[in-house]
Amino acid sequence: MTLWFVFALMTVAAIFAVLWPLGRATPATSGGSEANVYKDQLGEIERDLGSGMIGASEAEAARVEIGRRLLAAVDDEAAAAPKANLRLRRSAAVAALVGLPVMAAAVYLALGSPQLSDVPLAARSRPADVNQPLANLVAQVEAHLEKNPTDGRGWNVLAPVLSRLGRYDDAVRAYRNSITYNGDSSERRADLGEALTGAAGGVVTAEAKAEFERAVAQNAGDPKANYFLGLAAEQDGRKADAASIWRAMLAKAPADAPWRSLVQTSLVRVGAAPAAPALSDDAMAAAKDMSADDRSAMIRGMVDRLATRLKQDGNDVEGWLRLVRAYMVMGERDKAVAARTDARQAVANDAERLRQLNEGLKNLGLDG
Amino acid sequence: MIAEAGHYALVLALGLALIQSVVPMLGARWGDVALMNVARSTALAQLLFVGASFTALVMLHVTSDFSVVNVFENSHSMKPLIYKITGVWGNHEGSMLLWVSILALFGGLVAAFGNNLPLTLRAHVLAVQAWIASAFYFFILLTSNPFLRIANPPIEGRDLNPVLQDVGLAVHPPMLYLGYVGFSISFSFAVAALIEGRIDAAWARWVRPWTLLAWIFLTLGIAMGSYWAYYELGWGGWWFWDPVENASLMPWLAGTALLHSAVVMEKRNALRVWTILLSILTFSLSLLGTFLVRSGVLTSVHAFATDPARGVFILLILCLFIGGSLSLYAARATSLKQGGLFAPISREGALVLNNLFLTTACATVFIGTLYPLALEVLTGDKISVGAPFFNLTFAPLFVPLMIAVPFGPSLAWKRGDLLGAAQRLTAAGILALIAIAVLWAWTRGGSSFAPLAIGLAVFVVAGALTDLAERIGLFRLPFGTSVQRARGLPRAAWGTAFAHAGVGIALIGIVCETTWNSEYIGTLKPGDIAKVAGYELKLDDIGQRQGPNFREMVARFTVGRDGNTLSVMTPSKRNFTTRGASTTEAALLTRGASQLYISLGDIAADGGIAVRIYHKPMVLLIWFGPVLMAFGGLLSLSDRRLRVGAPKPAKAARALQAAE
Amino acid sequence: MTRKQRRLVMIGGSLAVLAVAAALVLNALRDSIVFFSTPSMVAEKHIAAGKRFRLGGLVQPGSLKRGDNLAVTFEVADGSAALPVAYKGILPDLFREGQGVVAEGALDQSGVFRADTVLAKHDETYMPKEVADALKKQGHWKDDYGKPSASAETQQVKGVMR
C-alpha cells in the first residue's frame, strides 16, 4: 500500500509543478532583456577607457555600434507586450490534472511490476528459495570457486550442472578449469566439446571438433566424442563419413549401450539405414517376434499414444517429427499431413521451434 | 519499492517533459507569461524526478538487488562499494539514465540561473530541451529500461568485468557526458533563436557560458579517457584514432569552433548564421557519438542486429533532431540580416580562419570515421582507416591553425594590423627559432620535423604569454602599473592565454612522446638488466600473489641511473580464473614530465618473462595541456565580462605603441 | 575593400582550405587505408607481397610456436584455408588458440604473413567484427560470439575506455 501512496505523492508533486506558475499572478519581473546586455556592454567600455585599456577613438566607435543595437532592442521590446490567455491556461491545467496521471499510469502499468518488492542482498540471506534450489546452489558453488579457483573437484561438480542449465559459455570455462586442475581425460575433453557445441547452438564448431579429436586421441572408443565427430561430419556435408563413424560405433558397442538408439536415429537421418518408425530398440526387438498383425497393432498403439501425448503437450518438436515419420512409413499420408498441420499450430508462437519443425518436415519430404 | 518508485519517477519525468515541450511554446506564441513560466517549474521538477530515478538505480546497485535485471546482469555482491556505484553507468541502460539525468541537470540549471534571459527565449530553449529529453525518455523506457524486474531473483549477479573495475570508470564517462550533453543547451538556444527568428549579439553572450561549461567538461573527459587507456591497456598508447575516440573528438572540434565564433558574434554581431549552424552541428555530432557508441554499429555489426530496436530507435532520434533542426535552419537562415563588417585581416578574420581549420579538421575526422561504414554498406568491402590516415590529414590542417593562434588575440577588431602583430610576436618567434636550433643541435634520431613542430609549439606558448605581457604593458610601463593592470585584466583574457598555452604544451608532449619514445621489448630472467634511455632496470624477481578474486604475477624491477638506485617498479599481470580473463597492470615511474612504463607479457618456457619497457619523454604534458585548457575555460567562465562583454576595437598594446 | 570584395576573399580562402583538405583526404584514402582479408580471400585474390592488409580468422589450435627473443609463428585459419603468420613481440592478453584474431602486416616473398600488429580489441568471448562477418559468410559462425551479453560487454569496455 505504501507504494501506491508514494506514487500518489509523486504524481501530486508533478502536477503541482505545472499548476503553480499557472495559478500565480503575472510576476512583476519579466526576465532579462537584450537591452540590459547592451547597457552592460556600454558600461564596460567606460571601465576599459578609464583604466587606459582602450583609446578614446576606439571607445567612441564601439559606443556608436552598441548604441545602435541598444535602440533596436528597445524598439523590439516595446512591440511585445505580455497578455494573459485564460483559455490556454485552463487547457494546460487540465492537461496536467488529467493527462499527466493518466499517461503516467498507462505507461507505468504497462512496463512496471508494482507487485514485486525489493530484494536487496540483506533480504536474500534467508534460506534458499524453494523455486530455484539448483540455481542458488550453483551460485554458491560459483562464489566458492571465485575465491578458490584451484579447487578442481568444484569445477568437476559445477561443469555438468551448468551445461544442463544451458549456461554453455560458463560450462566451457568450467570444463577448461576442470581439465587444468584435475588433469586431462577423454571424458572431460568430450564434455568440453559438447558444451562448446551447445554454446554454438548445436553446431560442432572447429573448436569443439578439436576437443573431440583430442578425446579420441586419448581413448579411441569414447562414445560421446565419436558420436559428435560423426555429427561434425554430417554438418560438414560428409554424410558418408558420418555414417561410417557411427556404424563403427554400433559395431563395437555393447548391446545394452544406452546411446544405441541415438546413433541409429542419426544413421537414419543421414540416409544410411533403412527408414523405420523411430521406435526404441527394445520395442523393435519385441516386435520382431510378433506376428505381422500383432506387430502393426503394437506400432499403431505406440503411434496413437504419441499422438495423444502431443495433443496435450505440443511443444515437443522431435515428437511431432517422429509422429509424422511414423505415419509416412505406415503409408498414411493423410494422417501425416494432418499431423503436420497440428504440429505447426502447436508451435506457431515459438519461432525457433517452428523453424526446427519446418526443417525436419523438409527432411521428411513433407514441407510446403 | 525503491525499484518501482524509481521507475515511476522516470515515467513522471517523461510526462513533465511532454508538457514542457508544448505549453511554453504556446505561451511564447500567445505572449502569456504564466504559460511561459511553466517551462521553468517543469524543468526543475523533471530534474527532481530524474535525479530520484537515478538515485534509486544507484541504491539498487549498492544493495545488490538482483530482482532488477540491470543489477543482476551488471553487478555482483562481492564487488567493492565504489565499483558497485560506478557499475551503474558501466552498462548500456544505466549510462543512458545518466545521460538523461545530465540533460535534465542542464535544463534545470537554465531554469534556475537563466534569469537574465528574455522570457520567450527561455521558454523556447526549455521547450526544445524537453523535446530532446522526451525522445530519450521514450528510448530508455521502451528499449533500455533499467528498472525491469525478475520475479524470482537469482542469488548472485553475473558480471564482475575486471577491465571495468577501475577508478577511471568512476570519473571518465560522467565527465564526457557532461560535455556531450552540455552542448544540448547551445543546440536548444540555436533552435529557439530560429523559431523566434531573431538572433543578435546578445544571444551569443547568453549562450557562451553554457557552451564554455560543456567544452570544459568535454576537454577534461577526453583527456582523462586518453590517460586511462594509456595506463590500463598496457600498450602505452594514448590515442588510437579509434571510432569511439573520434566520436568524442568531433564534437570537441566543432565545440571549440563554436566557442570562437560566438565571441565574434557577441562582440561584433557578425557570423550569426554560421554560429547557429555550428551550435546545431556540435550537438548533432554529440548525438552521433552517442549513436555510434550505443548502437554498436562500430564495434560489432552483430550486436546491432541482435537488438535492432535500440539502434533503429537512436537512429530515428538522430534523424529527427539533426534533420529537423537543419531544415528549420535552411528555412530561417536566409531571412537573417547580415551582421557587422570586418576586414579579412582582423580579429574576426583570425577567428574565421580558426573556425575554417577546426571545422575542416572535424570533417576529415568525420570522413575517416564513417567512410569504412559507408563503404561496407555500399560495396561490402571491409577496410580500416587508422592512424596513418589521420596523421596525413589532421596534422597538416593543424599546422596553419597553430601558426595563426598567437596572431588572433594580437589583432584588433574590425581592421587589424598584421605587421604590427608580427612585430609584437617577434620575441615569441625568436624564442621558437632558438628552440628549433637547440633541438637540432642536441637531439639524435627521430624525424627532422620534430624540432620544427616543437618550435611551433614554443611559438604558441610564447605567443600566449606575449599577448598577456602586451596587455599589461610588462617591460614598457613601470612594474607597479603592470601589476595593477594585470589585476584589472579581465579573467577572460587570462583564460584565453592559458587555453592557448595549453594547446602548445600538449603539442610539445605529443611530439616528444612520438619522436623520442624509446622502448625495450624482450625476455628477461631474474637478475637480467634492461637499459632504456639511460635507465637501468634490473629484474629482481617474479612472484605470485593471491588477490581477492584473481591471481597475480608480480615482477619487481629496481630502477637505477648512473649507478644510483632510484626506485622500485612492480608491474603485474592478473588472472581472473573464474571469468577466464586476464589484465595487465602496468607500472609507471614519473620523472619530471617523463615516464618509465613497464608492462608484462607471458612467462616463457625457460623461466624468462616477456616485458615491454618504454621511456616516454614529456608524456605527461599531453594531458597537462588539456588540463590547462580546461583551467583557462574555467577562468573565462568566472569572468563577469562573460556576462558583461564589450567589443574592444583596439588592443591596449596598440594604443600604447601609438603613445610611445 | 568593398563588402563584396571582402566576401569574395573570405569565400575564396575557405574554398582554398577545403580544396587542400579534400586533396589531403583523397591522398590519404589512397595510401593509408588497409583492407581486410581472410586466409581464403588471400588464396583467391593473390595479394602481392609487400601490400599491407589486415588478416583475420581463428588461430589454428596447435599451431602456435614460440621462437627465440619473442618471435612467434602461428596459423590463421577460416575453415577453408590457413595462412602462416610470423610476429615478433608480445602477444596481447587475449590471444588464444582457437580464438579470433586480427593481424596487420604484409605477405613476404615466401607467402608468410609478417604481422607488425596483432590486435587485441576483443575479450574472451568477443570476436572481432570483421572475423565474425567473414566466418559467418563461410558458415563457420559460432553463435555465441555475437551474443548480446558478450558484445555488449566489449562495447561497454570500449565505451568507457575512450
Distance (Å) from the alpha carbon of C23 to chain A's nearest alpha carbon: 42
* A265 and A158 inside one domain: yes
* C25 and C42 inside one domain: no
Other CB atoms within a 10 A radius of the CB of residue A37 amount to 26
* C114 and C42 inside one domain: yes
* A168 and A83 inside one domain: no
* A168 and A260 inside one domain: yes
Mean pLDDT is lowest, of A120-134, B85-99, B248-262, C54-68, for A120-134
* B429 and B577 inside one domain: no
Which residues of chain A lie closer than 8 angstroms to C150, CB-CB?
169
Q: Average pLDDT of B229-237?
A: 78
* A267 and A287 inside one domain: no
* B627 and B506 inside one domain: yes
Distance from C-alpha of B590 to C-alpha of B602, rounded to nearest angstrom? 25
Which residues of chain B lie closer than 8 angstroms to A38, CB-CB?
201-202
Other CB atoms within a 10 A radius of the CB of residue B607 amount to 10
Is B54 a member of any domain? no
**What angle do helix axes A260-269 and A223-235 make, rounded to 10 degrees?**
10
Is B470 a member of any domain? yes
Q: Quote the pLDDT of residue A206.
A: 79
Return the CATH number at A170.
1.25.40.10
Residue in B1, B32, B141 nearest the CB of A3: B1
Query: Are the Cβ atoms of B650 and A44 closer than 8 angstroms?
Result: no
Query: Are the Cβ atoms of B389 and C9 closer than 8 angstroms?
Result: no
- Structural domain for A193, as ranges: 133-278
Alpha-carbon separation of residue A305 from A295, A302, A319, A323, B628 (angstroms)? 15, 5, 11, 10, 81
Residue in A32, A143, A176 nearest the CB of B118: A32
* C18 and C52 inside one domain: no
Closest-CA residue of B relative to A39 is: B644
* B431 and B443 inside one domain: yes
Q: Quote the pLDDT of residue C154.
A: 34
* A179 and A69 inside one domain: no
If interface means Cβ-Cβ distance under 8 Å, which residues of chain A face chain C?
168-169, 199-201, 203, 205-207, 210
Query: Are the Cβ atoms of A84 and B26 closer than 8 angstroms?
Result: no
Into how many domains does chain A fold? 3
Domain boundary among A223, A256, A278: A278
* C39 and C16 inside one domain: no
- Structural domain for B503, as ranges: 425-516+623-644
Residue-wise pLDDT for B13-26, tens only, equals 999 999 999 999 99
* A107 and A143 inside one domain: no
Asked if B455 is an interface residue toward chain C (Cβ–Cβ < 8 A), one would say no
Which residues of chain C lie closer than 8 angstroms to B368, CB-CB?
25
Distance from C-alpha of C145 to C-alpha of C134, rounded to nearest angstrom? 13
Is B457 a member of any domain? yes
* B510 and B627 inside one domain: yes
Is A184 a member of any domain? yes
Return the CATH number at A298.
1.25.40
Distance from C-alpha of C84 to C-alpha of C64, rounded to nearest angstrom? 10
Interface test with B, best of C4, C93, C102, C142 (most B CBs within 10 A): C93
Closest-CA residue of C relative to B218 is: C162
Residue in B73, B173, B363 nearest the CB of C160: B173
Closest-CA residue of A relative to B202 is: A34
Mean pLDDT is lowest, of A314-318, A331-335, B401-405, B651-655, for B651-655
Into how many domains does chain B fold? 2
Half-sphere exposure of B481 (CA within 13 A, CB side): 12
- Greater confidence (B412 vs B558) lies with B558
Most confident of A242-246, B133-137, B271-275, C94-98: B133-137
Is A78 a member of any domain? yes
Closest-CA residue of A relative to B5 is: A7
Is B337 a member of any domain? no
B206, three cell numbers: 547568453
With DSSP H G I counted as helix, E B as strand and the rest as coil, what are the percentages for chain A, rounded to 5?
75, 0, 25
Q: Quote the pLDDT of residue C141.
A: 45
Distance (Å) from the alpha carbon of C67 to chain B's nearest alpha carbon: 10
Closest-CA residue of B relative to C117 is: B235
* A191 and A98 inside one domain: no
Interface test with B, best of C145, C156, C157 (most B CBs within 10 A): C156
Residue in C98, C142, C147 nearest the CB of A210: C98
pTM comes to: 0.77
Is C4 a member of any domain? yes
Domain boundary among A278, A304, A339: A278
Most confident of B11-15, B340-344, B575-579, C59-63: B11-15
- Greater confidence (B92 vs B299) lies with B92
- Greater confidence (A365 vs A109) lies with A109
If interface means Cβ-Cβ distance under 8 Å, which residues of chain C face chain A?
58, 61-62, 77, 79, 98, 125, 140, 142-144, 147, 150
Query: Are the Cβ atoms of B161 and C156 closer than 8 angstroms?
Result: yes
Is A348 a member of any domain? yes
Is A192 a member of any domain? yes
* B608 and B633 inside one domain: no
Residue-wise pLDDT for B81-128, tens only, equals 888 888 888 788 898 999 999 999 999 999 998 888 888 899 999 999
Q: Quote the pLDDT of residue A51.
A: 67
Given pLDDT bands bounded at 50, 70 and 90, which one contains residue C161?
Answer: very low
List all chains that touch chain A, counting a touch as 3 or more CB pairs closer than 8 Å: B, C
Is A247 a member of any domain? yes
- Greater confidence (B579 vs B372) lies with B372
Mean pLDDT is lowest, of A132-136, A180-184, B528-532, for A132-136
* C91 and C61 inside one domain: yes
Is C148 a member of any domain? no
User: Is the model's pLDDT at B219 over the cut of 50?
Assistant: yes
* C63 and C7 inside one domain: no
Q: Quote the pLDDT of residue B194.
A: 92
| % chain A with pLDDT above 70 | 83
Asked if B169 is an interface residue toward chain C (Cβ–Cβ < 8 A), one would say yes
- Report A:88-107 residues touching B (Cβ under 8 A): 88-89, 92, 95-96, 99-100, 103-104, 107
* C1 and C56 inside one domain: no
Residue in B164, B233, B306 nearest the CB of C146: B306
Is B496 a member of any domain? yes
Torsion sign, CA atoms C33, C37, C43, C44: negative
Is A272 a member of any domain? yes
Is A219 a member of any domain? yes
Residue-wise pLDDT for B617-650, tens only, equals 999 999 999 999 999 999 999 876 554 333 333 3
* A274 and A344 inside one domain: no
Distance (Å) from the alpha carbon of C124 to chain A's nearest alpha carbon: 10
* A273 and A141 inside one domain: yes
* B432 and B478 inside one domain: yes
Residue-wise pLDDT for B315-356, tens only, equals 899 899 999 999 999 988 777 766 677 878 888 889 999 999
* C39 and C119 inside one domain: yes
Return the CATH number at C101.
2.40.50.140
Query: Are the Cβ atoms of A210 and C61 closer than 8 angstroms?
Result: yes
Distance from C-alpha of A334 to C-alpha of A331, rounded to nearest angstrom? 9
Is A117 a member of any domain? no
Query: Are the Cβ atoms of A200 and C142 closer than 8 angstroms?
Result: yes
* A175 and A312 inside one domain: no
Q: Quote the pLDDT of residue A290.
A: 60
* B457 and B582 inside one domain: no
Contact A38, A65 (CB under 8 A): no
* A10 and A92 inside one domain: yes
Question: Could you tell me which residues are beta bridge partners of residue A172?
Answer: none
Which residues of chain C lie closer than 8 angstroms to B363, CB-CB?
21
Residue in C62, C79, C125 nearest the CB of A169: C125
Q: Quote the pLDDT of residue C146.
A: 34
Interface test with B, best of A119, A129, A148 (most B CBs within 10 A): A119
* B571 and B494 inside one domain: no
B34, three cell numbers: 504564466
Query: Are the Cβ atoms of B37 and A18 closer than 8 angstroms?
Result: no
Residue-wise pLDDT for A345-354, tens only, equals 777 777 778 8
Alpha-carbon separation of residue B359 from A225, B257, B364, B507, C139 (angstroms)? 61, 7, 9, 19, 44
User: Could you write out the three-class secondary structure of B332-372?
Assistant: HHCCCCCCCCCCCCCHHHHHHHHHHHHHHHHHHHHHHHHHH
Mean pLDDT is lowest, of B28-42, B293-307, B389-403, for B293-307
Query: Are the Cβ atoms of C1 and B306 closer than 8 angstroms?
Result: no
* B535 and B565 inside one domain: yes
**What angle do helix axes B272-295 and B92-113 make, rounded to 10 degrees?**
150
Residue in B23, B578, B650 nearest the CB of A54: B650
Is B15 a member of any domain? no
Is B502 a member of any domain? yes
Domain boundary among A278, A302, A331: A278
* B511 and B573 inside one domain: no
DSSP letters along B556-601, please? Answer: EEEEEETTEEEEEE--EEEEETTTTEEEEE-EEEEETTEEEEEEEE
Is C85 a member of any domain? yes
Q: Quote the pLDDT of residue B279.
A: 95
Query: Are the Cβ atoms of A51 and B485 closer than 8 angstroms?
Result: yes
Query: Are the Cβ atoms of B4 and A132 closer than 8 angstroms?
Result: no
Distance from C-alpha of A130 to C-alpha of A220, rounded to nearest angstrom? 43
Is B511 a member of any domain? yes
List all chains that touch chain C, counting a touch as 3 or more CB pairs closer than 8 Å: A, B
* C81 and C126 inside one domain: yes
B17, three cell numbers: 517533459
Q: Average pLDDT of A220-230?
A: 85
Residue-wise pLDDT for B419-454, tens only, equals 888 888 999 999 999 999 998 888 777 777 889 999
Which residues of chain C lie closer than 8 angstroms to A203, CB-CB?
142-143
* C51 and C107 inside one domain: yes
Query: Mean pLDDT over all residues of chain A?
Result: 78
* B512 and B578 inside one domain: no
Given pLDDT bands bounded at 50, 70 and 90, which one contains residue B652?
Answer: very low
Into how many domains does chain C fold? 2
- Strands C71-77, C65-66: pairing is antiparallel
* C7 and C78 inside one domain: no
- Report A:40-59 residues touching B (Cβ under 8 A): 40-45, 48, 51-55, 58-59
Closest-CA residue of C relative to B174 is: C160
| % chain B with pLDDT above 70 | 91
* C57 and C86 inside one domain: yes
- Structural domain for C20, as ranges: 1-29
* A141 and A272 inside one domain: yes
* B525 and B588 inside one domain: yes
